[in-house]
Structure formats: C-alpha cells, structure tokens
Amino acid sequence: MAASKGPLEGLIVLDLSRILAGPTCTQALGDLGATIIKIEHPDRGDDTRGWGPPFATGEDGQPTDLSSYFMCANRNKLSVAVDIATEEGQKTIHQIAARADIVIENFKPGGLEKYGLDHATLLTAYPQLIHCSISGFGHTGPNREKPGYDLMAQGYSGIMSLTGEPDGAPMKVAVGIADVMTGMYASIGILAALRHRDKTGQGQHVDLSLVDASLAWMINEGVAHLTTGKPRARRGNEHATIVPYQTFACSDGFVLVAVGNDLQYTRFCDFLGQPDLADDPRFATNSARVTNRETLIPLLEALMVQHSQADIVAGLEARKVPVGPVNTVEQAFASDQAMARGMRIDMAKDGIDRGGVELIGNPLKFSVTPVTYRRPPPHLGEDTQAVLDWLSGVRAAPEL
C-alpha cells in the first residue's frame, strides 16, 4: 500500500495566484497532500521569480528562475504556463476548474471577468468549487478597486504605527506578514468551506483582503483602542500591557526577558539581587509595573547591563523565568531546536549546482498524517505538457 501524501490527498487546487499571500496558502495545502496546479504567464511567470538576488544557481553557474523569494512559497506545485488572455488559455483553465476542488486567485476585484474566469462564472459552471479570492481591500467597500501590497496593508491597518522605537519613524515588519497571515486565513476559510461542501455538495466564494487580515491580527492592541477610544503608543521592544517584557542590553549583547506574571517577576528580582524591587508596591503587581514602567525600566536596565548574556540566560532559566537570546537568522536556522523540529529541509532538484535547494519546513506536526515534501519549487512551465496530456486524456493526472 502506497504511503499517504497527507490528509488532503486527492484534492485538486487550481492556483491562479502569485507573489506571496495566495502561494503561501497553496503551498500549505500542497504540504498537506493536495495537488496544486500553479498557472503562470508563459513569459513572465510569477512576479517573484525575478525578485532577487539571491537565486538558486544552475550547474552552469548562472542564476535560474528560482529566486529565494519564489522558492519560499512554491514547493509541492506543478507549474503550467498558460496565457489566460487567450481563448486557448481560458479553455485550459476551464478544463482544470471542471476537475478541481479549489480555485485560488489574487486578481483585483473584477479583473477576471473579462476572461470569463471570475468567481461568479466559475461557480455557476462548476458549483462544487471553493473559489477563494485574495485582494488588497476585498470585493466590497469603497476601496475595492485599489491595488494592494503587503506594505500598503501594514500601513493601512495601523501595525506600522505601533512598530519601531517610540521616538522613531513608523516601521514595517521585516517580512511580508500581511501576505503570510492572509494566506493562513485563506487556508482556514478554504478548509471550512470544504467541510460545508462535503456535507452539502455546495461550493462557495471565500473573499479575503490583506487589510482585513491585518486588522484582525492587531489583536490586543486593536481591542485596547476599541475599548478606550484612545491612540496606542509605539513602544519599540516593550510590551503594551506586560512589564518587564522586552529586550535588555547586557555586557556583551542583548537578551530577551518575558516576565508573564508576578511570581516570575519576584524570581527575576532575585536573580538581580534586588528583592526590594519585588516588594516595592510600585512594582509588586503587573498593573503597577505597567503604570510605573518609566521608573522601573531604567532601574532594571542599569542592573542587567552588568551581566553577560550567558549568565542572564543561565540564571533566569534556573529560576524558570522566560528568557532567550536575540538570534540572527543564521543562528536561528543553525540551532539544534530548528534541526530537531525539521524547520530546515533539503529538497533534491536536477540542474541546480548543489544538487538541490534548502527550504523552510512546515511547522505542522501530525501524529498520523504527516506533512510531505514531494516536489521542489518548479521552473516556469515545467509541468505544462504533463497537465495538458492529462486534460486531453493521454495520461493520468500528474503525480506530485
């Protein structure tokens, strides 16, 4: 008996998305066993193929069309080069949609109507489909026509106003977090819609926007504003409602301390040799520490800088106070924890100078139906002929 490819084995996903939000979603579905048919423009491909360097290098020493950006969200996919602006291309998309369970796209609202590939047309023709649309502002509202990129969503949602040093400029998160979180919400929405379809046979349209997703993950800071009606302050690496919960300078670098309750705070003060700071009514409870942070934090900073990072980590870990280093990306992926959890993976690929590519692993760990890594990120149009042969009945569905 062949090994399972994952809990979503047998599902077919028509992937009309590009850049990051949609591809993040479809890669997640592919890791769980679904067959992902990624449609790319024959000349340009996914925009992110050109977003480099760095690129994976071919055996000839030249850059390939596999940028690191493209590879981060496009494993476990078949690449089919199709021009949807042509009648032939639209026919191919309809042939795939007729066999698919899910369609995901990130065109501007209305952008697919002229091709007859919009959600209303496809759901009428194939009512079993789950059609997920991702856009900057969604298919309704006054801004629906505006384009959307991760940077604009971070700015619009307010997260940039809270990120950065208090006296500095608003700062975006270093990675495309609005795209990634929208992709995660898309995965949840699609799986919920599939559950409904399995019970009723009825497909539906799932409408997601980068801005909506970004507003949703404003979580405690967003609700704090809604509760008080007051602006929220930018606090750098400090926490809005937990103190101390931040970065501290030490004698040889930086360290993170996350004191989550009053008992941990008492133990923290014990490490510092300052039990009076735990007994002081200004600091004895978290609420008091939040109110008096401007007095407390300078006292703690002066004490912490007297210790090395290693001493702080060892001392606080021994007292069961959450603590950790500020790793570089290199240190994070080289850590024994990342290795033990399979967060750094190698995938063989012909034609690449190192014999393959190195990628970030999927964080999901299943006890029965594990994630599978079946195919590395594809070159543009790598699977076009195989998929066309499948549609014409010449061969079985392409294997992933």
Could you please report the per-residue DSSP string of 171-218?
A: ---SS-HHHHHHHHHHHHHHHHHHHHHHHH---EEEEEEHHHHHHHTT
Question: Are the CB atoms for 311 and 317 separated by under 8 Å?
Answer: no
The per-residue pLDDT for 40 is: 98
What does the pLDDT read at residue 397? 78
Cα gap 178→155, rounded to integer Å: 10
Angle of helix 309-318 relative to helix 262-272, nearest 10 degrees, comes to 130
Give ∠ CA 349-353-355 in degrees, rounded to 5.
35
Residue ranges of the chain with pLDDT lower than 70? 1-2, 400
Cβ proximity of 327 and 339 under 8 Å = no
Q: How high is the pLDDT of residue 369?
A: 96
Strands 245-250 and 253-258, sheet pairing: antiparallel
Contact 208/184 with Cβ under 8 angstroms? no
Length of the chain: 400
- Buried b vs exposed e over 162-193: b needs ≥16 C-beta within 10 Å? bbeeeeeeebbeeebbbbbbbbbbbbebbbeb
* C-alpha distances in Å from residue 132, one per residue of 25, 183, 210, 300: 10, 11, 13, 50
| Active-site residue flag, 179 | yes
Within 13 A of 269's CA, how many CA atoms are on the CB side?
Answer: 20
Give the pLDDT confidence of 188-233 residue by residue, as tens digits: 999 999 999 999 999 999 999 999 999 999 999 999 999 999 999 9
> Which residues are CB-contacts of 363 (< 8 A; sequence separation ≥ 6)?
341, 343
Question: Quick one: pLDDT at residue 2?
Answer: 61
Give how far Cα 269 sits from Cα of 211, 238, 277, 326, Å.
42, 18, 6, 21
Write down the catalytic residue from 65, 118, 179, 212: 179
DSSP for 20-64, written as a single string: SHHHHHHHHHHHTT-EEEEEE-TTT-SGGGGS-S-EEEBTTSSEE
How high is the pLDDT of residue 309? 93
Q: Which residue has tokens 């996919």?
A: 77
Residue type (1 letter), 343: M
pLDDT of residue 400: 65
What is the C-alpha to C-alpha distance for residues 239 and 235, in angstroms, rounded to an integer?
Answer: 7
- pTM of the complete model beyond 0.85: yes
